[in-house]
Chains A and B, each alone.
Chain A
Amino acid sequence: MSDFLLATAGAILFTVAVGLVRILGGPGDADRMMAAQLIGTGGIASLLLIAAATGARGVDDVALGLAILAAFASAAFVNSGAPAEEPDPNPADDR
Chain B
Amino acid sequence: MSLALDLFSIAAISAGVFFFLAGTVGLLRFPDALSRLHALTKADNLGLGLIVLGLLPRAESLLAALMLVAIWALVQLAGATAAQLIGRAVRRKGPAI
Contacts and interface: CB of A to CB of B under 8 A. Distances in A.
Interface residues of B, number: 48
Contacts of B13: 4-5, 8, 49
A1 B2 CA distance: 12
B28 A19 contact: yes
Query: Main secondary structure on chain A at its contact with chain B?
Result: helix
B90 A30 contact: yes
Contact of B20 (A28, A42, A67): A42
Given A28-B95, A28-B97, A45-B20, A63 B51 contact: no
Interface of B: 6, 9-10, 13-14, 16-17, 20-21, 23-24, 27-28, 33, 36-37, 40, 43-44, 47-48, 51-52, 55, 58, 64, 67-68, 70-72, 74-75, 77-79, 81-82, 85-86, 88-90, 92-93, 95-97
